[in-house]
Amino acid sequence: MITSDLWRGKRFAVLGLARSGAATVRALVASGAEVIAWDSDEGRRLALLQAPPLQGRGWGWGLSPSAAPVESPHPNPSPEGEGLLTFADPETIDLTGFDGLIVSPGVPINRHPIAAKARAAGVPIIGDIELFAQARAALPPHKVVGITGTNGKSTTTALIHHILQTAGVPTLMGGNIGLPILAQEPLPAGGVYVLELSSYQIDLTFTLDCDVAVLLNISPDHLDRYDGFDAYAAAKARLFAMQSPTYAAIISIFDAPSAAIARSLSARGEHLTKIASGFCMDQSRWPSLQGPHNAQNALAAINACEALGVPQAAIDKGLESFTGLAHRMETVATRNGVRFVNDSKATNAESAAPALSAFDGIHWILGGRAKSPSLDACRPGFPHIRAAYTIGEAGQQFYELLDGLVPVSYCETLDRAVMMAASKAQSGETVLLSPACASFDQFRDFEARGDAFRAAVEALA
């Protein structure tokens, strides 16, 4: 894991013990910090104690993950000198004197009471990416690529990581994808950390100076966490505000907010690369990078890798051998000539639109918890749709919206939609799960929704 002597002897509160939160606690305790940790899910508190390196190392012994605050840390920390762990809800304790409140990106700091309490106590509110930024100075010499944008982040992050691997460059992928960055072993000298960064993570980061910073696009999303669309766009722009002006900034200027950010950085001159729409690329040799959206993702990855000094031959080889991501335009099966595509990661209309344009003869499964009542971004793909099947909270709303535009059925659940779509699809057509919605009405996350789609396809007679 990544640790730092900067944290030794300091006090931190950690709220949220899912993957990144649990990794944060382990890294801080291993660095010699005193940590007050909490999650409303008792199972996560218990799992933290049972998982290495806390298990059997001394500092977890005797602690209860119960809801009652633990008033004092374990009196016998491990002989290696690691820090102390205490369970208590930060809302119930005095935060005065703490060196930081680390919250998981899922904690809505715009409305959660812990944010006001921390600010009143003068405690900085940060995330695990900021801790990584603080730890960088003591790591072997390396570079960092940060990728943000409303859509395409995961594909572009994974593609850059894959190209670097193809080129033989030591690399790790983290942030909003894969393992939490603090949970991974530091890279040797010359390595590159490739980080997918959501706006939530950028909100909690203040000193991350990326050697290469990439902005793919900005469209309305997560507006429940921001005071309007302009504030959301400003969160994305902060990635460049933290960056040294002589480092590489790569911005796709397809949309007005991204173009405005690029204009604000015009003084950077040769250190600013702008990707304009209409750029023609031969994607025929890249089987997992089809469609205009993937042309944009690929061009951003190419520019990022060129900025890192990766040879063109390695870039070409990486583009050709990239296999894509699970839950993003992923073909999970072909039955009787019908292709079944899992695009569960398309959690808004803008991210669902590319899949509708990438296939013909589509039986479209959509719905869930809507982020917007509109499907206007998907309209260019409507001529490709044979029929639509709506599910979840937005199912009835989307049924009414699509009725009269395409044949549509309200199916309520994903398994029913898969059965109905499969019964109607003909050889050469595609059953596409591209929900244009969040998953939280019926599933834990988009991955669970994609896995349920795969299971439903496998269960077809």
Catalogue the active-site residues. Answer: 153, 176, 222
- Tokens 């304009």 -> residue: 276
Q: How far does the chain reach from its first CA to its final CA, in angstroms?
A: 46
Nearest residue to 103 (alpha-carbon basis) of 179, 4, 36, 47: 36
What is the separation of C-alpha 436 from the centre of its chain, rounded to a whole number of angstroms? Answer: 16
- Tokens 């290696």 -> residue: 80
Q: Are 355 and 343 in contact (CB under 8 A)?
A: yes
**Rg (the chain; Cα; Å):** 23
Nearest residue to 215 (alpha-carbon basis) of 155, 258, 166, 268: 258
Burial class (CB in 10 A: 0-12, 13-18, 19+), 354: buried
- For helices 292-307 and 349-358, the axis angle rounded to 10 degrees is 110
**Letter for the amino acid at 23?**
A
Tokens of 264: 């604000």
Q: What are phi and psi of 240, to 5 degrees?
A: -85, -30
Ordered strands of the 338-342 beta sheet: 330-335, 338-342, 430-433, 362-367, 385-391, 408-412
Tokens of 297: 């993702």
